[in-house]
Structure formats: structure tokens, C-alpha cells
Amino acid sequence: MAVVPYERIPFAGTVPSPQKENEGMITGNWRTRRPIVDSEKCVKCQTCWINCPDACVNLNDDKPINFNLKYCKGCGICAEVCPAGAITLVPELDFEE
Amino acid sequence: MSIQNLFDEPGLKQITVWGRGVYENKEARDVVVALTEAASKEGKYIQAWENYVDLPDRIFVPVRAYGKISTEEIESRYVYENEAPDIVVLTEETLVKGINILSGIKPGAVLVINSKRSPEYLIKFIKENTENLSKIVTVDANSLSKSVITLSGAEGATDASGIGKGISAALVAAVVKGTEIVKFDNLLELIANKSVAKKAYDQTIVVDADSIQKKVFA
């Protein structure tokens, strides 16, 4: 076991302030169901982007909405609030990747 | 001397159960409690506890429950995590993905998964430490029973909800069929949902890990 000097141990389990992602708090393996967007039904109202508690919704002007699956923990709030019914939750093991 | 060989205990079997926070925290604990209590009836030395670092009150967080069953007095009773499990149980199938569940397993280890999918499909997701795995056991516990969702008994508090009422009844039956660590009759006396345990014992699928790894990764 590597010995870490006490000066380098973060205070009370804190992690460095993230710019965009926080490598110390990856939560993707909490997910049992994955959100999938039907791009034909999606009206780009951005309701899912407002409601996502982990800011996992990626918005693009030219591409359809997608999710940051490294941090998405599959809570399903996006599917619940979507007014167009474009988001469905699919069992995680249906995907090989 | 490393942590791994501090205690030389040939008679010791370590059981690690992975579950999901809130939804299967009680079921994960019930699996080790039922197995160790049954072993205690057979005169073995036992220990069962939950991982103190995991967060059982947060939904879907991977949580662990541990058990130790030994023919001799357990010397490593103050080691608070199972470093080298002999039996790994998953109360939910997606735990195979993204978590190093087989970390440190001993040769001849058995993996028990609550899933309706085939072992051939599930082994594809396990990327690390499969060399020592001897058997994969699957049982569709969700079709037989429902998970008891309660925090009663979590983190050492008093458990007012009874042992083996939900999917843990099916999972312990699968563990006994796959490993024969305790006698099935001794286990049946302890758990509440006996009919589910009997059905699960018949439905459990046990496959040899080497043969399916050759088939899948050939």
C-alpha cells in the first residue's frame, strides 16, 4: 500500500473543483436503466436539460440530444418530465457497451 | 507480509454480496445472514456484517454485505472487508457492468447472479479477474419474489422485518445449489419464504465457468 503524506489527503473527502467533469465522483455504474431519445419525437424543448440533477444532458444545435453516460445514474427524471414522450428507459444490459 | 496473507485460514470461506442501495440493501444482508446462521447450526464459526463505507440510503448505489464461515475460530474477525471472497452474489444483474466484482477471488470461486439472462451473455461484461472463477450460477429471483424495500436493520440497527422474505430466499437457495456451503434443510428452517426457496433451488442454472469462457471468447 502506497504511503500518502497527510498534506496530500483532501480535507473531509472533498475532491478538486471540476471544470466540466469530476473524475472523483463517477456514478455511471449506479445505472440500471439507460435513457434513450427518439430523435423524431424530440422537439428540443430542453426540459430534460433543465431537470437533470446531474447535468448529464448534452445539447447540440445540429445533433440530437444525448446523455453523458459516464455520470448518468439512470434516475429517469428526464423520461418523466419529457412533454413529447421522446425518452424511454431501456435495461442497461441490453447494451453491450 | 501483506494484507492478503496476514491470516492463514484454510477452513475459512468468505462470502461477498453486492446489492443496490435502498432497493436491495436488505436482501443483500439477508443472504449473508441466512447462510451464516445456517452454518452456525452445523457448528461452524461465523460472522456477518455490512460494508460501512457504502451508502445504503442512496438509491442504486452498489452496496456490499459480507459473511465469513469457518471450520475453526475466525482469527481475521477484525478485518472489516472480504479481501479474497470464495462466493460472490449479485442481487441485481447490471452489477456485472462497470464494477470489479471479482476482485481478489480465490481459486474455485463461484459467482451467483440474479438474472433471467444466460450466463454466456453475462460473462461478456465481466472484464477482470475471471481466471479463478469455477462456476457461474443464475437464478431469476425477480420472477419468484419481490425485493423487500426497507432500511430497517441497515448499518447495524435492529432488523424488524424478518429474514428471507424477498428475493434473498431465492438467492440463498441458488448459493446452496452452486456451492453446497450449508445443507439446504438447515437453511429452509431459517428463512421466511420457504416455497420460493424450494422453487428457486429447482430453477437454478449452474454452469462451468471455464467452458463458457472458452465458448464466448473463442
Between A16 and B46, whose confidence is greater?
B46
Q: Give residue-wise pLDDT tens across range B165-185.
A: 999 999 999 999 999 999 999
Q: Are B34 and B163 in contact (CB under 8 A)?
A: yes
CA atoms within 13 A on the CB side of A63: 7
Q: Indicate yes or no: CB of B60 within 8 angstroms of CB of A32.
A: yes
B96 contacts A93? CB cut-off 8 A = yes
Indicate the domain borders of chain A: 41-97
Q: Given an 8 Å threshold on Cβ–Cβ distance, is B96 in contact with A31?
A: no
Kindly tell me if the per-residue pLDDT of B1 is higher than 60. no
pLDDT at A22: 78
Q: Within 13 A of B185's CA, how many CA atoms are on the CB side?
A: 1
Taking residues A21-31, what's their average pLDDT?
85
In this prediction, what percent of chain B has a pLDDT beyond 90? 76
Q: What local confidence, expressed as pLDDT, does residue B158 receive?
A: 79
Give contacts of B 86-125 with A, CB under 8 A: 92-94, 96-99, 115, 117, 121-122, 124-125
- Across B188-206, average pLDDT: 94
Query: What crossing angle do the helices spanning B167-179 and B194-203 adopt, rounded to 10°?
Result: 40
Q: What is the pLDDT of residue B3?
A: 60
Q: What pLDDT was estimated at residue B2? A: 61
Q: What DSSP designation does A29 have? A: G
Strand partners, B12: B70
Report, as an integer, the average pLDDT of B3-15.
Answer: 82
Task: List the single residue in B with minimal CA-CA distance to A70.
Answer: B98
**Contact (Cβ atoms closer than 8 angstroms) between residue B26 and residue B154:** yes
All cell numbers assigned to B44: 461452524
Q: What is the pLDDT of residues A39-65, one digit of tens each?
A: 999 999 999 999 999 889 998 888 899
Query: Residue B3's closest chain A neighbor by CA?
Result: A1
Position B8 scores a pLDDT of: 80
Which among A59, A81, A67, A80 has a CA at the least distance from the CA of A34? A67
Least confident of A6-10, B12-16, B124-128, B138-142: A6-10
Task: Look at residue B55 in the predicted model and tell me its pLDDT.
Answer: 86
Is the Cβ–Cβ distance between B184 and B34 less than 8 Å?
A: no
Domain ranges of chain B: 3-217
Higher pLDDT, B193 or B154: B193
Nearest to B92 among A1, A32, A96 (CB): A32
Is residue B192 within 8 Å of B169, Cβ to Cβ? yes
In the block, which residue shows the cell 465469513?
B68
Of A1, A75, A93, the CB nearest to B94: A93
B1 shares contact with chain A (CB less than 8 Å): no
Give B59: exposed, middle or buried? Use CB within 10 Å, 0-12, 13-18, 19+: middle
Give pLDDT, residue B214.
Answer: 84
SS3 for B140-208 is: CHHHHCCCCCCCCCHHHCCCCCCCCCCHHHHHHHHHHHHHCCCCHHHHHHHCCCHHHHHHHHHHCEEEE
Query: The domain A41-97 is classified under which CATH number: 3.40.50.80, 3.30.70.3270, 3.30.1490.20, 3.20.20.150?
Result: 3.30.70.3270
**Greatest Cα pair distance in chain A:** 55
**Chain Cα centroid distance, residue B148:** 17
DSSP run (H or E) holding B72: none
- Compute the average pLDDT of residues B9-19: 94
Residue A51, judged by CB atoms within 10 A of its CB (0-12, 13-18, 19+), counts as middle
Read off the amino acid at residue B82.
Answer: N
pLDDT number for residue B162: 85
Would you call B54 an interface residue with chain A, using a CB distance cutoff of 8 Å? no
Contacts of B116 in chain A (CB under 8 A): none
Summarised one tens digit per residue, pLDDT across range B16-75 is 999 999 999 999 999 999 999 999 999 999 999 999 888 888 889 999 999 999 999 999
Report the CATH number of the B3-217 domain.
3.40.920.10
| CA-based nearest distance A53→chain B, Å | 14
Residue B98 DSSP one-character state:
S
pLDDT (0 to 100) of residue B4:
60
